[in-house]
Amino acid sequence: MVPCPWALHAMRLLAEHPAIPFGIHLTVLCDGADYRWGPLTPRDKVLSLVDETGYFYRFDRMPDFLAHARLDELDVEFRAQIEAVWRRALAECGSQRLREAERHGFTPSDFAESELAAFMAALKN
């Protein structure tokens, strides 16, 4: 999960060990009150994704997140997370190492199915 504190360490390891396949675990939710992270994108560009403290919403505030999150801002943040990994780990070793990309903490049923399908298709471009 790229916005998390240990992501830089993981990306350094991937750059140093090009044989390791990996996936990108996209996230816009935090696990708990004491372990928080925020967007890679400047907060003023993704205001619908952060709570009143400037961090991503916690899992226990999923209804608040779903009420506020905008798909265009999800697109901006997910692209920033992918680009961060691309620059750090993939650029040196090639995209064939990327085996998986997934979302952390929410499922397609959390959003209107057609909206999420369109978003995920756009993300691949």
Q: What is the residue extent of each domain of the chain? A: 7-124
Place of tokens 């925020």: 38
Superfamily of domain 7-124: Glycoside hydrolase/deacetylase (3.20.20.370)
Q: Is the pTM of this model over 0.85?
A: no
pLDDT, tens only, 40-96? 999 999 999 999 999 999 999 999 999 999 999 999 999 898 888 877 655 555 544
pLDDT of residue 50: 97
* Residue 109, both tokens: 């049923």
pLDDT of residue 100: 43
pLDDT, tens only, 27-42? 999 988 888 999 999 9
pLDDT of residue 14: 79
Q: Which residues, 6+ apart, have CB-to-CB distance to 37 below 8 Å?
A: 1, 3, 4, 5, 27, 30, 55, 56
> Rounded CA gap, 85 and 14, in Å?
10
pLDDT, tens only, 1-25? 889 888 888 888 877 887 877 777 8
Q: Which residues, 6+ apart, have CB-to-CB distance to 80 below 8 Å?
A: 39, 40, 41
Instruction: Centre a 10 Å sphere on the Cβ of residue 31 and count the other Cβ atoms it contains.
Output: 17
Which is it for the CA torsion 72, 73, 76, 79, positive or negative?
negative
pLDDT of residue 91: 56
